[in-house]
């Protein structure tokens, strides 16, 4: 027995359970259509909600920035200084979101790792929605605080947990995803805010799937619910609707200032690259100029979801362009995804541990890049595969 044999056994076990993730290779820019493993297919997978990942304005901005300023930030910002481009991006993001200040990180994942341990530690408690994203969970674990899960989107459960536990800790923090990425449902943020206010607890929302999607012109979940100035910390990403890469934390100046002193991925990892920062600035320009892309995204999502229901599919409890097609067991979902691919549609199977056992699904991501004709082609493919496999 070699000391790595167990790894092959684990991998084989994933394969036999239908849980092994086959990562496909993309040979084209992101868009409504992709070249995947050499085939031209309709793209129903990406988080490129607004089609910005290959938008000419973002591409031009990143090229120009590379010409003017190079590609890399050189070092950690707190050691080697920060580039004016990053400062400008943070100012513009704060204005866009209607907050006092913002800080950018390398990704949404590191934004959570930076923020949570800077705000709570060993003597503190975190009240966390049971279905929060993995990066929130990892940030919570890193902080050393006691993690107290409450039932998904259940404000009564949150309040009961606070009543029972908060008194035993120095400080507390409530954390929820804004939009839950596997079901597409939205956190009841106004009610959560009322609880946070009643018990005087810091409130943080991770708006990765709401940024560029919810609110006026994509200003996010806080704008969607009119909660400006009430949610203490908004974490977000520029890897989804913004089409690029990079994390955001937005909120009161004092919190952002603290993250510049104590956010470990800020202090010990270099900044976003120059072309990324410039492309994100161009994305903010586009979103401030017009709501057209956000409107198209929502029109597409409503059309697709209505037609899927008419075909007899169960699209779960989504309130956003994320469309889970609930199918149940992982092997069926994997087969469904393969059959879709055979008829020219790229839509990923999602199974355990990303979603609970028995709740495997195909997740369709609608975007503003799709035309109505694209959506009709996708619907036709779902219909034929659904009939073939006896799902509808
Ligand atoms: C996607 C996602 C992240 C990670 O964002 P990246 O910028 O890709 O690292 C964090 N939180 C939530 C809720 C997400 O959906």
**What CATH number is given to the structural domain containing 258?**
3.40.640.10
Which residues constitute the domain of residue 303? 18-49+291-388
Do residues 278 and 227 both lie within one domain? yes
- What's the 21 CA to ligand 1 centre distance in angstroms? 19
317 falls within a domain: yes
Low-confidence stretches of the chain (pLDDT < 50) are none
Both tokens of 373, joined, read 């004709």
Render pLDDT for 122-136 as a digit per residue (tens, 0 to 9).
999 999 999 999 999
Render pLDDT for 265-289 as a digit per residue (tens, 0 to 9).
999 999 999 999 999 999 999 999 9
Q: Check if the beta carbon of residue 20 is closer than 8 Å to that of residue 9.
A: no
Query: Sheet holding 101-105: strands in order across?
Result: 101-105, 247-251, 233-237, 202-206, 172-177, 125-129, 146-150
1 falls within a domain: no
Do residues 276 and 297 both lie within one domain? no
Do residues 248 and 221 both lie within one domain? yes
Do residues 271 and 332 both lie within one domain? no
Do residues 269 and 127 both lie within one domain? yes
Q: How far apart are CA 30 and CA 26, in angstroms?
A: 9
**pTM for the predicted model, two decimal places:** 0.96
123 falls within a domain: yes
Predicted pLDDT of residue 352: 85
- What's the 237 CA to ligand 1 centre distance in angstroms? 6
| Last-in-domain residue among 223, 256, 289 | 289
Render pLDDT for 193-220 as a digit per residue (tens, 0 to 9).
999 999 999 999 999 999 999 999 999 9
Please report which residue ranges of the chain form alpha helices under DSSP H.
5-16, 56-69, 77-80, 84-97, 108-119, 134-143, 155-165, 189-198, 221-224, 253-262, 264-267, 274-289, 292-311, 330-342, 372-388
| Last-in-domain residue among 289, 316, 346 | 289
Query: Sheet holding 348-350: strands in order across?
Result: 322-328, 360-365, 348-350
12 falls within a domain: no
Predicted pLDDT of residue 286: 98
Q: How far is CA 240 from the centre of its chain?
A: 6
Do residues 95 and 121 both lie within one domain? yes
Do residues 30 and 88 both lie within one domain? no
Do residues 185 and 41 both lie within one domain? no
Which atom of ligand 1 is nearest the CA belonging to 109?
A: 9
Do residues 43 and 77 both lie within one domain? no
2 falls within a domain: no
Catalytic residue among 135, 143, 172, 181: 181
Q: How far apart are CA 51 and CA 69, in angstroms?
A: 26
Do residues 110 and 43 both lie within one domain? no
376 falls within a domain: yes
226 falls within a domain: yes
Do residues 180 and 282 both lie within one domain? yes
List, chain by chain if needed, residues with CB within 6 Å of any ligand 1 atom.
Answer: 107-109, 133, 135, 177, 181, 206, 208-209, 237, 239, 247
Catalytic residue among 86, 133, 224, 240: 240
Predicted pLDDT of residue 22: 82
Q: How far apart are CA 81 and CA 260, in angstroms?
A: 12
Predicted pLDDT of residue 83: 94
CATH number at residue 341: 3.90.1150.10
Q: How far apart are CA 101 and CA 266, in angstroms?
A: 16
Q: Is 240 a catalytic residue?
A: yes
Query: How many domains, the chain?
Result: 2
Question: 206: how many CB neighbours lie within 10 A of its CB?
Answer: 33
Do residues 320 and 358 both lie within one domain? yes
251 falls within a domain: yes
Render pLDDT for 14-49 as a digit per residue (tens, 0 to 9).
999 877 888 889 999 999 999 999 999 999 999 999
| Last-in-domain residue among 289, 319, 344 | 289
């Amino acid at each position: 027995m070699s000391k790595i044999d167990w790894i092959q056994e684990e991998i084989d076990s994933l394969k036999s359970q239908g849980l092994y993730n086959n990562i496909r290779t993309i040979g084209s820019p992101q868009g409504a259509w992709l070249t995947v493993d050499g085939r031209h297919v309709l793209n129903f997978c990406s988080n490129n909600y607004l089609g910005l990942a290959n938008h000419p304005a973002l591409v031009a901005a990143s090229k120009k920035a590379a010409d003017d300023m190079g590609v890399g930030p050189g070092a950690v910002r707190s050691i080697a200084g920060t580039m004016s481009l990053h400062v400008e991006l943070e100012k513009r993001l704060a204005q866009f979101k209607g907050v006092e200040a913002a800080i950018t990180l390398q990704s949404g994942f590191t934004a959570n790792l930076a923020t949570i341990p800077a705000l709570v530690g060993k003597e503190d408690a975190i009240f966390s929605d049971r279905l929060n994203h993995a990066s929130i969970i990892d940030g919570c674990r890193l902080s050393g605080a006691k993690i107290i899960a409450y039932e998904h989107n259940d404000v009564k459960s949150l309040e009961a947990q606070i009543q029972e536990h908060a008194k035993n800790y120095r400080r507390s923090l409530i954390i929820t995803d804004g939009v839950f990425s596997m079901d597409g449902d939205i956190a009841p943020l106004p009610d959560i805010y009322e609880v946070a206010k009643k018990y005087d607890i810091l409130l943080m929302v991770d708006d990765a799937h709401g940024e560029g999607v919810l609110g006026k012109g994509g200003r996010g979940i806080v704008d969607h619910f009119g909660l400006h100035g009430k949610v203490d910390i908004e974490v977000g990403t520029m890897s989804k609707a913004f089409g690029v890469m990079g994390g955001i934390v937005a909120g009161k100046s004092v919190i952002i200032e603290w993250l510049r002193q104590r956010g470990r991925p800020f202090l010990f990892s270099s900044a976003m690259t120059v072309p990324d920062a410039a492309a994100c600035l161009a994305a903010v320009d586009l979103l401030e100029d017009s709501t057209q892309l956000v409107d198209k995204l929502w029109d597409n999502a409503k059309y697709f979801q209505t037609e899927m229901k008419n075909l007899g599919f169960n699209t779960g409890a989504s309130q956003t362009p994320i469309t889970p097609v609930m199918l149940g067991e992982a092997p069926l979902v994997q087969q469904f995804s393969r059959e879709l691919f055979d008829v020219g549609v790229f839509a990923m199977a999602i199974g355990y541990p990303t979603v609970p056992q028995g709740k495997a699904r195909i997740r369709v991501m609608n975007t503003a890049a799709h035309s109505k004709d694209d959506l009709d082609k996708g619907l036709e493919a779902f219909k034929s595969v659904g009939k073939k496999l006896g799902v509808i």
